[in-house]
Chain A
Amino acid sequence: MNIYIKNSCKSFFLFGTFSLLLSCSADEKQTVTTLDKLVLQDEFSVDGAPDSALWNYDIGKGPGGDGWGNNELQYYTDRPENIKVENGMLKITAIQELYMGSGYTSARITTKGKFEQKYGRFEARMKLPSGKGLWPAFWMLGSNIDINSWPQCGEIDIMENKGSQPLTVSGALHGPGYSGGTAITKSYSFTNSRVDTDFHIYGVEWGPNYVNFYIDSVLYNQITPEDATGEWVFNSNPFYMLLNLAVGGNFDGAPNSNTVFPQEMLIDYVRVYQ
C-alpha cells in the first residue's frame, strides 16, 4: 500500500496549532483513500421516511427474539419517532419506553437486496449518541448470509461505539474462526474531539485481500488475510450496509442511571465509491 495522508494539515488545523505542528513535522505520507468514483450516495435530503428504494427496516428483537444475538434491549421499529429524515439528516432515535415487551425502542436499516457491492469505499458522516449502554453502528454483512450463515458470510464493522466511551470507536472484521469476542478489532480514540458533539467521517476501503479503516483523514488500521485467524471471506461476495442504534447488549452493557434518553444518531450522508 502506498500510504499518504491527504490534507492532514488542513484537518488537524481544527484541533489546534500544537497538533498542526506535530502532523506537519512528521514526514510520513499516507493515502487514506484511493477509490473516488461515486457509485451510491444518500444525502438524506428528502424529509420523511428513509428512501425505500435503498433501505429496508429490520423490525423487532431479531429472528431468535434474543436481541439480535447480542442480548440487545431495544425493539426496532419503523416509526418516525425512531427513524426519519429531517433537515438533511437521517435521525435514528433510541427511546426509553415500554413497547412490545421491550423497555426501549430504536431503529435499524439495511440495504440488503437493494444495494450490495463487492469491494469499494463505504463511508458515512455521523454524529453519535452518548451514554452508557448506547451502541451505534455502521457495518456490513455478506449478501450470502441466508445461505452461508454468520460468521461464514463475513462481517465488516466500519464503526462501532460504546456509549460509555465518548472518544473511542472501533472497526472490526468477523469471519469463520474470528467472530464475536475474537473478531479482528482495532479501536481509535480522538484526542480533542467527541463522537457525540462533532460529526466525523467513518469509512472503510475494501479491496482484494485488504480492508482499510479510516476516520476523517486518519487511516488507523489495515486488515489482510495474514491477520485473519481463519478463512478470508471477503474476496468472494458482495456485502450490504447496515445502520443501527442498539441499546444495551453485550458490547457496552445496559444503560445506567446517568444515561439520558432519548438519544440520537445523526447520519449526514452515506456514500459508496469504486
Chain B
Amino acid sequence: MKRKKYNYFRFSLILGFVLLVNINCDRDLSDDAVQTGFSSAAEIFIDGFSSGLEYYPYENSKLDAFTVDSQTKYSGSSSMRFDVPNFGDAEGAFAGAIFRDDNGGRDLTQYNALTFWAKGTKAGKINEIGYGQDFGENKYEVSIQNLHLTTNWKKYIIPIPDASKLTQERGMFWYAEGPEDENGYTFWIDELKFEKLGTISQGQVSILNGNNQTETSYVGVNSLIDGVTATYNLANGNNQTISISPSYLQFNSSNTAVATVDSSGSVTSLSTGTALINATFGGASVTGSLTINCAGAFVHAPTPTKSQANVISLFSDVYSNVPVNYYNGYWQPWQTTVSNDFSVQGDNILNYTIFNFVGIEYSSPTVDATAMTHVHLDVFIPGSIAPGRQLRVLVVDFGADGVFGGGDDTRHSTTFTAPTLVSQNWISIDIPFSTMPTLASRSHLAQLILEGGDGSLIYVDNIYYYN
C-alpha cells in the first residue's frame, strides 16, 4: 500500500526559498490579521509567464527542456515548448518540471478544470501531466497519466476534483515525460489556464483503483491508500480518468480500535482485529476499500550485531545501505511477486506478496565483497510450509565487465527446506561464500535473487554481506 514516490528531486535552493517565504509570512501576519484573498487569476501561460510563475525542472531532467517558442503556437505570440531528450542524453534522462506560483499561491475555487492546447512532433504519450505539485506537501496533486498527444493542436482538460480545497494552491502545472522508444521528441502547450466549464460531468471517484483489497498488518504498521482516481465524462462523451491526491477525500474506519485513517489516507494499525477502510467524496461513497486484518504485535527480526565496518548492507535499518537499484525487479514474464513493503515502529520490512521469485539488483555500482565471508538475510513466512517447500537464495556476480551478461556472470544458488524453513518465525540465513562453488567471483556482486515461493507472503529484513 506504499504510495509510489517520484524519483524527481527538488533543488536544495528551493527548500531554502520556501523556508524564507514562510518565515516572512509568519512575521508579517499578526494574530488577528484577516487573511486576504489570494490571486484568482486563471491564466498560467498564454503568451508568456503569468505573474509570479516560476519554472523548476526536476533534478536529473534535461534542465533546458522547456523554452518559450514564438514560432510554433496555437494562438497569440508564443507557446511553451518541451524538448524530450533521446535515451542516453547526457543532459538529462527525461523532461520534467513544475511551474509554481511564487506569489504565495492562487485561489482556484471558482474553476473546475486546467485546460490547454497541445501538439507533438509525434503522437507521444506524456507520462504524467497535471497540477498541484509544489515541492512541498503536494497536498492536492492531480495528474493525467499517458496523455496521448496528436500531431495537430488539440484541447485537453484536466478536471479539478474539488476546487473548494484550492484556496491557496501554488502548484500551477507539472509534467514528466521520457523518451518514446528511446527517441526524444518535442511537444508544445499553449493557452494554459484554469477554467470553469459547464460541460464536465460529476466525477466517479475510486480508491485502490476501485478494488476491495485485504491486507495483513501488524500493530504500528502504516499503510497508505493509493490508486485514488476520478473519472469524468467530457463534452464529447469521452471519459477522462485522473489520478488525485487522497487529500481530496474523506476517509473512514469501521473500527478505530483496530485501525485509524487520517485525512491524507494514511492507515495505522493499532490492535488485533479487522477494520474496513473506505472513503467518501463530496458526501458520496467511492468505490474500492481496504480491509485491514491486524495480526497483533509484530515480531521483529533479530537485531544485527556486527559493526558497520564488517558489513556491506543491502537492506537494514541498523546499517547504512549501499545503493540498490531495486528491491523488486518485476522481472517479466513469469514473476508474480508484488512488493507491499511496510514499516513497523521505524523497522522497514520488505514484504513480497504473491511470491514466486524476486530479484534485488545493486549494480550501480556493483559490490566488491572480497573482504566479506558470508551473506546474511532474515526471512519470515506467515503462511504454512508445505511439504517439499524450498527457498533458494541466489547470489549473482556480474563479472569483470560489471554489467549483466557478457559471458562473465556467475552465480550460486543455495537451497533451504524444512526444518530450516518454519512458519511464523524469523529464519536467519547465513551462507558462507566458501559454500558457493559456482560463484567464481565476488568482486562485482550485483544481484540477490529469492526463489521458491508458493504464491503467498514472505517478509525479508537485514540483507547484508559480512565478515
**Which residues of A are interface residues toward B (Cβ below 8 A)?**
15-16, 130-132, 164-167, 190, 192-194, 196-198, 258, 260
Task: Decide: B204 and A164 in contact? CB cutoff 8 A.
Answer: no
Q: Which residues of chain B are within 8 angstroms of A190 by Cβ–Cβ distance?
A: 198-199
Contact partner, A196, options B196, B197, B201, B239, Cβ 8 Å? B201
Interface: B339 (CB within 8 A)? no
Task: Decide: A164 and B199 in contact? CB cutoff 8 A.
Answer: no
Task: Decide: A132 and B237 in contact? CB cutoff 8 A.
Answer: yes
| Chain A proximity of B286: nearest CB distance (Å) | 13
Interface: B364 (CB within 8 A)? no
Contact partner, B239, options A15, A197, A258, Cβ 8 Å? A258
Task: Decide: A197 and B237 in contact? CB cutoff 8 A.
Answer: no
Q: Which residues of chain B are within 8 angstroms of A167 by Cβ–Cβ distance?
A: 199, 235
Task: Decide: B201 and A198 in contact? CB cutoff 8 A.
Answer: no
| CB 8 Å contact bits of B208-239 with A (1 = contact, 0 = none) | 00000000000000000000000001010101
| Chain A proximity of B281: nearest CB distance (Å) | 15
How long is the Cα–Cα vector from A132 to B201 in the complex, in angstroms? 14
Subset of 11 A-B contacts with CB under 8 Å: A16-B196, A130-B201, A192-B199, A193-B198, A193-B199, A194-B235, A196-B233, A197-B201, A198-B198, A258-B239, A260-B204
Q: Which residues of chain B are within 8 angstroms of A16 by Cβ–Cβ distance?
A: 196
| CB 8 Å contact bits of B185-212 with A (1 = contact, 0 = none) | 0000000000011111110100000000
- Residue ID in chain B nearest A164 by CB atoms: B237
Task: Decide: A165 and B197 in contact? CB cutoff 8 A.
Answer: no
Q: A258-B239, A260-B204 are in contact. Are A166 and B198 (CB under 8 A)?
A: no
Task: Decide: B235 and A166 in contact? CB cutoff 8 A.
Answer: yes
| Chain B proximity of A155: nearest CB distance (Å) | 26
| Chain B proximity of A118: nearest CB distance (Å) | 37
| Chain A proximity of B238: nearest CB distance (Å) | 8
How long is the Cα–Cα vector from A258 to B237 in the complex, in angstroms? 10
How long is the Cα–Cα vector from A136 to B276 in the complex, in angstroms? 37
| Chain B proximity of A34: nearest CB distance (Å) | 29
How long is the Cα–Cα vector from A107 to B233 in the complex, in angstroms? 24
Closest 6 CB pairs of A and B: A192-B198, A193-B198, A164-B237, A258-B239, A167-B235, A130-B233
How long is the Cα–Cα vector from A105 to B166 in the complex, in angstroms? 41
| Chain A proximity of B334: nearest CB distance (Å) | 29
Task: Decide: B237 and A194 in contact? CB cutoff 8 A.
Answer: no
15 extra interface residue pairs, beta carbon distance < 8 Å, beyond A165-B237, A196-B202, A197-B201: A15-B198, A16-B196, A130-B201, A132-B237, A166-B199, A166-B233, A167-B199, A190-B199, A193-B198, A193-B199, A194-B199, A194-B200, A194-B235, A196-B201, A198-B198
| Chain A proximity of B285: nearest CB distance (Å) | 14
| Chain B proximity of A9: nearest CB distance (Å) | 18
Task: Decide: A194 and B204 in contact? CB cutoff 8 A.
Answer: no
How long is the Cα–Cα vector from A260 to B199 in the complex, in angstroms? 18
| CB 8 Å contact bits of B388-430 with A (1 = contact, 0 = none) | 0000000000000000000000000000000000000000000
How long is the Cα–Cα vector from A161 to B235 in the complex, in angstroms? 14
| Chain B proximity of A23: nearest CB distance (Å) | 16
How long is the Cα–Cα vector from A197 to B239 in the complex, in angstroms? 15
Q: Which residues of chain B are within 8 angstroms of A132 by Cβ–Cβ distance?
A: 237
How long is the Cα–Cα vector from A131 to B237 in the complex, in angstroms? 7
How long is the Cα–Cα vector from A197 to B198 in the complex, in angstroms? 8
Contact partner, A166, options B196, B197, B201, B204, Cβ 8 Å? B201
How long is the Cα–Cα vector from A258 to B197 in the complex, in angstroms? 22
Task: Decide: B235 and A197 in contact? CB cutoff 8 A.
Answer: no
Q: Which residues of chain A are within 8 angstroms of B200 by Cβ–Cβ distance?
A: 194, 197
- Residue ID in chain B nearest A195 by CB atoms: B201
Most buried by A among B196, B199, B202, B239: B199
| Chain B proximity of A181: nearest CB distance (Å) | 21
Task: Decide: A131 and B233 in contact? CB cutoff 8 A.
Answer: yes
| Chain B proximity of A135: nearest CB distance (Å) | 14
Q: Which residues of chain A are within 8 angstroms of B198 by Cβ–Cβ distance?
A: 15, 190, 192-194, 197-198
| Chain A proximity of B106: nearest CB distance (Å) | 20
How long is the Cα–Cα vector from A167 to B237 in the complex, in angstroms? 8
| Chain B proximity of A37: nearest CB distance (Å) | 33
Q: Which residues of chain B are within 8 angstroms of A131 by Cβ–Cβ distance?
A: 233
Q: Which residues of chain B are within 8 angstroms of A258 by Cβ–Cβ distance?
A: 239
- Residue ID in chain B nearest A189 by CB atoms: B235
| Chain A proximity of B72: nearest CB distance (Å) | 28
How long is the Cα–Cα vector from A100 to B200 in the complex, in angstroms? 36
Q: Which residues of chain A are within 8 angstroms of B202 by Cβ–Cβ distance?
A: 196-197
How long is the Cα–Cα vector from A16 to B111 in the complex, in angstroms? 13
Task: Decide: A192 and B239 in contact? CB cutoff 8 A.
Answer: no
How long is the Cα–Cα vector from A130 to B232 in the complex, in angstroms? 11
Q: Which residues of chain A are within 8 angstroms of B233 by Cβ–Cβ distance?
A: 130-131, 166, 196
Q: Which residues of chain A are within 8 angstroms of B237 by Cβ–Cβ distance?
A: 132, 164-166
| CB 8 Å contact bits of B326-357 with A (1 = contact, 0 = none) | 00000000000000000000000000000000
How long is the Cα–Cα vector from A16 to B233 in the complex, in angstroms? 22
| Chain A proximity of B162: nearest CB distance (Å) | 15
How long is the Cα–Cα vector from A203 to B235 in the complex, in angstroms? 23
Q: Which residues of chain B are within 8 angstroms of A165 by Cβ–Cβ distance?
A: 237
How long is the Cα–Cα vector from A258 to B239 in the complex, in angstroms? 8
Q: Which residues of chain A are within 8 angstroms of B197 by Cβ–Cβ distance?
A: 192
- Residue ID in chain A nearest B234 by CB atoms: A166
How long is the Cα–Cα vector from A166 to B198 in the complex, in angstroms? 11
- Residue ID in chain B nearest A162 by CB atoms: B237
| Chain B proximity of A12: nearest CB distance (Å) | 12
How long is the Cα–Cα vector from A167 to B235 in the complex, in angstroms? 6
| CB 8 Å contact bits of B233-248 with A (1 = contact, 0 = none) | 1010101000000000
How long is the Cα–Cα vector from A190 to B199 in the complex, in angstroms? 8
How long is the Cα–Cα vector from A194 to B200 in the complex, in angstroms? 7
Q: Which residues of chain B are within 8 angstroms of A164 by Cβ–Cβ distance?
A: 237
- Residue ID in chain A nearest B202 by CB atoms: A197
Most buried by B among A131, A166, A193: A166
How long is the Cα–Cα vector from A21 to B202 in the complex, in angstroms? 28
How long is the Cα–Cα vector from A197 to B204 in the complex, in angstroms? 13
| Chain B proximity of A32: nearest CB distance (Å) | 21
Most buried by A among B196, B197, B200, B201: B201
Q: Which residues of chain A are within 8 angstroms of B199 by Cβ–Cβ distance?
A: 166-167, 190, 192-194
Most buried by B among A16, A190, A192, A194: A194
Q: Which residues of chain B are within 8 angstroms of A15 by Cβ–Cβ distance?
A: 198
| Chain B proximity of A48: nearest CB distance (Å) | 24
How long is the Cα–Cα vector from A141 to B455 in the complex, in angstroms? 63
How long is the Cα–Cα vector from A166 to B204 in the complex, in angstroms? 16
Q: Which residues of chain A are within 8 angstroms of B235 by Cβ–Cβ distance?
A: 166-167, 194
